Amino acid sequence: MSKLIDGKLVSCAVKERIKAEVSELKNKGITVGLAVILVGEDPASKIYVANKKKACEALGIISQEYLLPENTTTEELLELIDTLNHEKTINGILCQLPLPKGIDEQTVINAILPEKDVDAFHPSNVGKIMIGDYDFVPCTPAGIMEMLDYYNIDICGKNCVVIGRSNIVGKPMSMLLLHKNGTVTTCHSRTNNLSEVTNKADILVSAVGKANFVTADMVKDGAVVIDVGMNRDNGKLCGDVCFDEVKDKASYITPVPGGVGPMTIAMLMQNTLTASKKQNGLL
Protein backbone atom coordinates (compact mmCIF):
# COMPACT_ATOMS: atom_id res chain seq x y z
CA MET A 1 0.00 0.00 0.00
CA SER A 2 1.45 3.32 -1.02
CA LYS A 3 1.70 6.58 0.83
CA LEU A 4 -0.42 9.40 -0.52
CA ILE A 5 1.37 12.58 -1.59
CA ASP A 6 -1.05 15.22 -0.40
CA GLY A 7 -0.88 18.23 -2.72
CA LYS A 8 -3.41 20.15 -0.65
CA LEU A 9 -1.28 19.80 2.46
CA VAL A 10 1.97 20.79 0.73
CA SER A 11 0.33 23.68 -1.13
CA CYS A 12 -1.05 25.02 2.17
CA ALA A 13 2.45 24.93 3.67
CA VAL A 14 3.85 26.78 0.63
CA LYS A 15 1.05 29.36 0.71
CA GLU A 16 1.53 30.00 4.44
CA ARG A 17 5.21 30.69 3.78
CA ILE A 18 4.32 33.08 0.92
CA LYS A 19 1.65 34.87 2.95
CA ALA A 20 4.14 35.59 5.72
CA GLU A 21 6.70 36.92 3.23
CA VAL A 22 4.14 39.09 1.43
CA SER A 23 3.13 40.57 4.77
CA GLU A 24 6.78 41.25 5.69
CA LEU A 25 7.30 43.03 2.36
CA LYS A 26 4.17 45.09 2.93
CA ASN A 27 5.65 46.32 6.20
CA LYS A 28 8.61 47.58 4.17
CA GLY A 29 6.26 49.34 1.72
CA ILE A 30 6.75 46.73 -1.02
CA THR A 31 3.74 45.22 -2.78
CA VAL A 32 3.35 42.03 -4.80
CA GLY A 33 1.08 42.24 -7.85
CA LEU A 34 -0.09 39.81 -10.53
CA ALA A 35 -1.99 40.62 -13.73
CA VAL A 36 -3.94 37.76 -15.29
CA ILE A 37 -5.21 38.10 -18.85
CA LEU A 38 -7.99 35.89 -20.18
CA VAL A 39 -9.04 36.12 -23.80
CA GLY A 40 -12.35 34.50 -24.75
CA GLU A 41 -14.83 32.28 -23.00
CA ASP A 42 -13.11 28.93 -22.46
CA PRO A 43 -14.94 27.53 -19.38
CA ALA A 44 -11.91 25.68 -17.93
CA SER A 45 -9.72 28.79 -18.35
CA LYS A 46 -12.36 30.90 -16.59
CA ILE A 47 -12.22 28.57 -13.58
CA TYR A 48 -8.38 28.64 -13.52
CA VAL A 49 -8.35 32.45 -13.68
CA ALA A 50 -10.95 32.75 -10.90
CA ASN A 51 -8.90 30.37 -8.72
CA LYS A 52 -5.72 32.38 -9.32
CA LYS A 53 -7.52 35.57 -8.27
CA LYS A 54 -8.83 33.86 -5.13
CA ALA A 55 -5.34 32.60 -4.23
CA CYS A 56 -3.85 36.11 -4.68
CA GLU A 57 -6.48 37.63 -2.42
CA ALA A 58 -5.91 35.01 0.29
CA LEU A 59 -2.15 35.74 0.34
CA GLY A 60 -2.28 39.54 0.19
CA ILE A 61 -1.09 39.66 -3.43
CA ILE A 62 -2.67 42.39 -5.55
CA SER A 63 -4.49 40.81 -8.47
CA GLN A 64 -5.66 42.52 -11.65
CA GLU A 65 -7.88 40.63 -14.05
CA TYR A 66 -8.19 41.52 -17.73
CA LEU A 67 -11.07 39.73 -19.43
CA LEU A 68 -10.89 40.33 -23.18
CA PRO A 69 -13.39 39.27 -25.84
CA GLU A 70 -12.83 36.28 -28.13
CA ASN A 71 -12.27 38.54 -31.16
CA THR A 72 -9.32 40.40 -29.56
CA THR A 73 -6.46 40.79 -32.07
CA THR A 74 -2.81 39.93 -31.42
CA GLU A 75 -2.00 43.67 -31.70
CA GLU A 76 -4.58 44.60 -29.03
CA LEU A 77 -3.23 41.95 -26.70
CA LEU A 78 0.35 43.09 -27.29
CA GLU A 79 -0.68 46.65 -26.45
CA LEU A 80 -2.09 45.54 -23.09
CA ILE A 81 1.03 43.50 -22.33
CA ASP A 82 3.21 46.51 -23.16
CA THR A 83 1.23 48.65 -20.69
CA LEU A 84 1.55 45.98 -17.98
CA ASN A 85 5.27 45.55 -18.70
CA HIS A 86 5.67 49.21 -17.74
CA GLU A 87 3.29 49.12 -14.75
CA LYS A 88 5.35 49.31 -11.52
CA THR A 89 2.70 47.73 -9.26
CA ILE A 90 2.48 44.67 -11.49
CA ASN A 91 5.33 42.23 -10.86
CA GLY A 92 3.96 39.24 -12.76
CA ILE A 93 1.98 38.91 -15.97
CA LEU A 94 0.17 35.74 -16.95
CA CYS A 95 -1.75 35.25 -20.16
CA GLN A 96 -4.02 32.24 -19.75
CA LEU A 97 -3.46 29.62 -22.47
CA PRO A 98 -4.77 28.38 -24.80
CA LEU A 99 -5.48 31.60 -26.67
CA PRO A 100 -8.27 31.72 -29.25
CA LYS A 101 -7.37 30.77 -32.83
CA GLY A 102 -6.08 33.80 -34.67
CA ILE A 103 -3.85 35.02 -31.85
CA ASP A 104 -0.24 34.01 -32.22
CA GLU A 105 0.63 32.38 -28.89
CA GLN A 106 4.41 32.52 -29.19
CA THR A 107 4.36 36.22 -30.16
CA VAL A 108 2.32 36.92 -27.03
CA ILE A 109 4.64 34.86 -24.80
CA ASN A 110 7.68 36.63 -26.28
CA ALA A 111 6.13 40.05 -25.52
CA ILE A 112 5.96 39.54 -21.75
CA LEU A 113 9.09 40.92 -20.05
CA PRO A 114 11.13 37.88 -18.90
CA GLU A 115 11.34 39.35 -15.39
CA LYS A 116 7.52 39.47 -15.23
CA ASP A 117 7.02 36.09 -16.94
CA VAL A 118 5.77 34.16 -13.90
CA ASP A 119 4.69 31.23 -16.08
CA ALA A 120 8.33 30.87 -17.22
CA PHE A 121 7.32 30.34 -20.84
CA HIS A 122 9.46 33.12 -22.36
CA PRO A 123 12.38 31.70 -24.39
CA SER A 124 14.81 33.54 -22.11
CA ASN A 125 13.39 31.80 -19.02
CA VAL A 126 13.22 28.46 -20.85
CA GLY A 127 16.93 28.83 -21.72
CA LYS A 128 17.76 29.66 -18.11
CA ILE A 129 16.06 26.48 -16.94
CA MET A 130 18.15 24.54 -19.46
CA ILE A 131 21.42 25.87 -17.99
CA GLY A 132 20.18 25.49 -14.42
CA ASP A 133 20.36 29.20 -13.50
CA TYR A 134 16.74 30.27 -13.20
CA ASP A 135 14.42 32.54 -11.23
CA PHE A 136 11.12 31.10 -12.45
CA VAL A 137 10.14 27.53 -13.24
CA PRO A 138 6.83 26.59 -14.91
CA CYS A 139 4.40 26.16 -12.05
CA THR A 140 3.41 22.51 -12.52
CA PRO A 141 6.94 21.01 -12.60
CA ALA A 142 7.97 23.41 -9.82
CA GLY A 143 5.07 22.14 -7.70
CA ILE A 144 6.09 18.53 -8.29
CA MET A 145 9.65 19.26 -7.17
CA GLU A 146 8.26 20.94 -4.05
CA MET A 147 6.15 17.86 -3.24
CA LEU A 148 9.08 15.47 -3.73
CA ASP A 149 11.15 17.66 -1.43
CA TYR A 150 8.38 17.84 1.21
CA TYR A 151 8.20 14.03 1.36
CA ASN A 152 12.03 13.72 1.38
CA ILE A 153 11.98 11.73 -1.83
CA ASP A 154 15.56 11.57 -3.05
CA ILE A 155 16.11 12.09 -6.77
CA CYS A 156 19.89 11.76 -6.98
CA GLY A 157 20.88 8.74 -9.07
CA LYS A 158 17.27 7.56 -9.49
CA ASN A 159 15.77 6.46 -12.78
CA CYS A 160 13.20 9.15 -13.55
CA VAL A 161 10.79 8.65 -16.42
CA VAL A 162 8.60 11.51 -17.63
CA ILE A 163 5.80 10.64 -20.04
CA GLY A 164 5.09 13.78 -22.08
CA ARG A 165 7.35 16.39 -23.68
CA SER A 166 5.22 19.54 -23.73
CA ASN A 167 6.93 22.88 -23.18
CA ILE A 168 4.85 23.58 -20.08
CA VAL A 169 5.13 20.26 -18.27
CA GLY A 170 7.15 17.40 -19.76
CA LYS A 171 10.32 19.18 -20.90
CA PRO A 172 10.84 21.44 -17.86
CA MET A 173 9.98 18.50 -15.58
CA SER A 174 12.75 16.43 -17.17
CA MET A 175 15.22 19.31 -16.83
CA LEU A 176 14.44 19.86 -13.13
CA LEU A 177 14.88 16.16 -12.35
CA LEU A 178 18.16 16.21 -14.28
CA HIS A 179 19.39 19.22 -12.27
CA LYS A 180 18.73 17.16 -9.14
CA ASN A 181 20.94 14.41 -10.58
CA GLY A 182 18.17 12.05 -11.65
CA THR A 183 18.85 9.80 -14.65
CA VAL A 184 16.05 11.05 -16.84
CA THR A 185 14.17 9.51 -19.77
CA THR A 186 11.53 11.59 -21.54
CA CYS A 187 8.85 9.57 -23.32
CA HIS A 188 6.27 10.68 -25.89
CA SER A 189 3.81 9.34 -28.43
CA ARG A 190 6.60 7.88 -30.62
CA THR A 191 8.39 6.07 -27.79
CA ASN A 192 8.83 2.38 -28.56
CA ASN A 193 7.91 -0.16 -25.87
CA LEU A 194 6.73 2.50 -23.42
CA SER A 195 5.90 -0.05 -20.74
CA GLU A 196 9.46 -1.42 -20.82
CA VAL A 197 10.79 2.10 -20.16
CA THR A 198 8.28 3.00 -17.45
CA ASN A 199 8.95 -0.28 -15.66
CA LYS A 200 12.52 0.90 -14.98
CA ALA A 201 11.30 4.13 -13.32
CA ASP A 202 12.01 4.78 -9.65
CA ILE A 203 10.13 8.05 -10.16
CA LEU A 204 7.43 8.07 -12.84
CA VAL A 205 5.75 11.32 -13.90
CA SER A 206 2.80 11.06 -16.26
CA ALA A 207 1.80 14.20 -18.20
CA VAL A 208 -0.10 12.73 -21.12
CA GLY A 209 -3.69 13.86 -20.73
CA LYS A 210 -5.40 10.47 -21.17
CA ALA A 211 -7.54 8.83 -18.51
CA ASN A 212 -6.50 5.33 -17.41
CA PHE A 213 -3.28 5.57 -19.40
CA VAL A 214 -0.82 4.33 -16.77
CA THR A 215 -1.79 0.83 -15.65
CA ALA A 216 -0.25 -1.27 -12.86
CA ASP A 217 1.73 -3.41 -15.31
CA MET A 218 3.64 -0.25 -16.40
CA VAL A 219 4.83 0.52 -12.88
CA LYS A 220 7.79 -0.95 -10.99
CA ASP A 221 7.18 -2.15 -7.42
CA GLY A 222 7.92 0.68 -4.99
CA ALA A 223 8.02 3.45 -7.61
CA VAL A 224 7.02 7.03 -6.83
CA VAL A 225 4.14 7.90 -9.17
CA ILE A 226 3.25 11.50 -9.97
CA ASP A 227 0.06 12.03 -11.95
CA VAL A 228 -0.12 15.38 -13.76
CA GLY A 229 -3.11 14.46 -15.96
CA MET A 230 -6.38 16.32 -15.63
CA ASN A 231 -8.96 14.38 -17.55
CA ARG A 232 -12.65 13.63 -17.50
CA ASP A 233 -13.80 10.03 -17.31
CA ASN A 234 -17.59 9.84 -17.59
CA GLY A 235 -17.69 13.43 -16.35
CA LYS A 236 -15.50 12.67 -13.31
CA LEU A 237 -12.16 14.48 -12.89
CA CYS A 238 -9.28 12.00 -13.02
CA GLY A 239 -5.60 11.79 -13.85
CA ASP A 240 -3.62 9.61 -16.28
CA VAL A 241 -2.99 6.89 -13.73
CA CYS A 242 -5.33 4.00 -12.86
CA PHE A 243 -5.11 5.03 -9.23
CA ASP A 244 -6.87 2.03 -7.66
CA GLU A 245 -4.56 -0.56 -9.18
CA VAL A 246 -1.31 1.46 -9.16
CA LYS A 247 -1.59 2.53 -5.51
CA ASP A 248 -0.89 -1.03 -4.40
CA LYS A 249 2.43 -1.10 -6.27
CA ALA A 250 3.75 2.42 -5.74
CA SER A 251 5.63 3.58 -2.65
CA TYR A 252 4.19 7.09 -3.04
CA ILE A 253 1.42 8.32 -5.34
CA THR A 254 -0.39 11.59 -6.04
CA PRO A 255 -4.20 11.51 -6.23
CA VAL A 256 -6.30 13.45 -8.75
CA PRO A 257 -7.81 15.71 -7.58
CA GLY A 258 -5.73 16.82 -4.60
CA GLY A 259 -2.25 16.07 -5.93
CA VAL A 260 -0.38 18.13 -8.51
CA GLY A 261 -3.29 20.52 -9.18
CA PRO A 262 -3.23 22.54 -5.93
CA MET A 263 0.56 22.89 -6.19
CA THR A 264 0.39 24.64 -9.57
CA ILE A 265 -1.38 27.72 -8.21
CA ALA A 266 0.81 27.81 -5.10
CA MET A 267 3.92 27.93 -7.29
CA LEU A 268 2.42 30.71 -9.41
CA MET A 269 2.12 32.71 -6.20
CA GLN A 270 5.72 31.79 -5.36
CA ASN A 271 6.93 33.01 -8.78
CA THR A 272 5.01 36.28 -8.35
CA LEU A 273 6.61 36.84 -4.96
CA THR A 274 10.05 36.10 -6.44
CA ALA A 275 9.33 38.60 -9.25
CA SER A 276 8.50 41.33 -6.74
CA LYS A 277 11.61 40.61 -4.68
CA LYS A 278 13.81 40.68 -7.80
CA GLN A 279 12.23 43.88 -9.09
CA ASN A 280 12.71 45.53 -5.71
CA GLY A 281 16.35 44.55 -5.49
CA LEU A 282 15.87 42.02 -2.70
CA LEU A 283 17.22 39.05 -4.66
Instruction: Report the interface residues with ligand NAP, using CB under 6 A.
Output: 140, 163-166, 168-170, 187-191, 194, 207-209, 228-231, 260-261, 264
Q: Of 15, 116, 117, 119, which one is the catalytic site residue?
A: 119
- Measured from the CB of residue 8, what is the shortest distance to ligand NAP in angstroms? 13
Is the CB of 268 or the CB of 275 nearer to ligand NAP?
A: 268
Alpha-carbon distance of 225 to 219, in angstroms, equals 8
Query: Which CB, 84 or 94, lies closer to ligand NAP?
Result: 94
State yes or no: is 52 an active-site residue: yes
Beta bridge partners of 236: 233
Quick one: 264 or 272, whose CB is closer to ligand NAP?
264
Smallest distance, ligand NAP to C-beta of residue 235, A: 16
Q: Tell me the H-state helices in 95-253.
A: 105-111, 123-131, 139-150, 170-179, 194-198, 243-246
Q: Minimal distance in Å, beta carbon 240 to ligand NAP?
A: 7
Contacts of 229 (CB under 8 A, 6+ apart): 206, 207, 208, 209, 210, 211, 213, 238, 239, 240, 241, 256
- Cα(92)–Cα(90) distance, integer angstroms: 6
| Residue 140 or 159 having the CB closest to ligand NAP | 140
Task: State the nearest-atom distance from the C-beta of 106 to ligand NAP, in Å.
Answer: 14
Annotation says 96 is catalytic: yes
Reported residue count of the chain is 283
Catalytic residue among 15, 52, 158, 247: 52
Helix %, strand %, coil % of the chain (to 5)? 45, 15, 40
Catalytic-labelled residue, pool 15, 96, 117, 279 = 96
Closest by Cα among 120, 114, 147 to 136: 120
Residues that are catalytic: 52, 96, 119
